[in-house]
Amino acid sequence: MHRSTARLATVFVIAMAAATSTTAAQSERRPKVLLIGLDGIRVDILQAADTPNLDALARAGEISFTARTRPKTVSGPGWSSMLTGVWMNKHGVEGNDFSSNRYETYPDFLTRIEQLRPELSTLAVLDWPPLGTSQDGGPLVSHKVDLVINVNGDNLGYGPADALSVDLAATRLRDGDPDATFIYLGDPDVVAHDTSSLSPEYRASIETADRQVGVLVAAVRARPTYEQEDWLILSSTDHGRSDDGGHGKESLEELTIYYLASGPLVGELSGEPFEIVDVTCAALTWLRFDIDPSWGLDCTG
């Protein structure tokens, strides 16, 4: 990823004030959100990798390489924080066993959408089983979501599972009508565990994920109604990682994540680094939800 990183302290918000000043034609466009989650991305390796598709999204929006997650830097708490908009003390998931979750109180953002505006269409494509099935105390993404497609990466291997997930998601993004979509890709995390964070294999896995991002973006832009829609494309990761490919501790390399927001009304503010919980608030705000304090969200923006 070769985009300039001069503004590393940028905090991104969805500039709703800007929305009020758009033309009437723009305001009539239907807002839609696509969140692409890449598991276990270390920021400095992402910046060194060849990622033309993420670069293009960044040029059409903003990207931070100093966003933060919080301990514990493992996938269960990370994805729970990103998708619910609250920290571990609220969502209750402290590891990769999800049994202690409090998702009834703090649901994933797609479920919250269904609770509040069931007329909107929601989609999730997931290949880590606890995200969408009862395995290990899941699911994180509830069955209230209109369509949850589960591809078992544990059985298929995460390289083939990611490829299948992208094909399935691209078909529905192009030919269906989802208003809010989350797609999870897990292979980079597995490759880093197997080969280290500094290996050429890990960098190559990030570049493969970037090509898959390109497939998803192309599917969005091929929609027959694309010109009548306002798409916000978000991408982030659950945690960074140490040199040996592990994670779970509190080093800067493990706590630092990237956050990308690409869309016509993405604004910026100077301030502290963006945090993983802000992804949910960005998605909900883009879809014209007012964030209710009673939800207890931990967003900073």
Q: Where exactly are the structural domains of the chain? A: 10-295
What pTM does this model have? 0.93
Torsion of CA 232, 153, 244, 206, to 10 degrees: -40
| 102 token code pair | 């409090």
Over residues 198-212, the pLDDT tens digits come to 999 999 999 999 999
CA–CA separation, 285 vs 289, rounded Å?
5
Residue for token digits 């270390």?
A: 42
Tens of pLDDT along the chain (301 residues) come to 754 433 333 345 554 434 433 444 455 899 999 999 999 999 999 999 999 999 999 999 999 999 999 999 999 999 999 999 999 999 999 999 999 999 999 999 999 999 999 999 999 999 999 999 999 999 999 999 999 999 999 999 999 999 999 999 999 999 999 999 999 999 999 999 999 999 999 999 999 999 999 999 999 999 999 999 999 999 999 999 999 999 999 999 999 999 999 987 666 544 557 999 999 999 999 999 999 999 999 997 6
Q: Amino acid identity of 138? A: G
Which residue blocks in 222-256 are alpha helix, DSSP H? 252-255
Pick 10-295's CATH classification: 3.40.720.10, 3.40.50.1110, 3.40.228.10, 3.90.1150.110.
3.40.720.10
DSSP labels, 192-217: HHHH-TTSHHHHHHHHHHHHHHHHHH
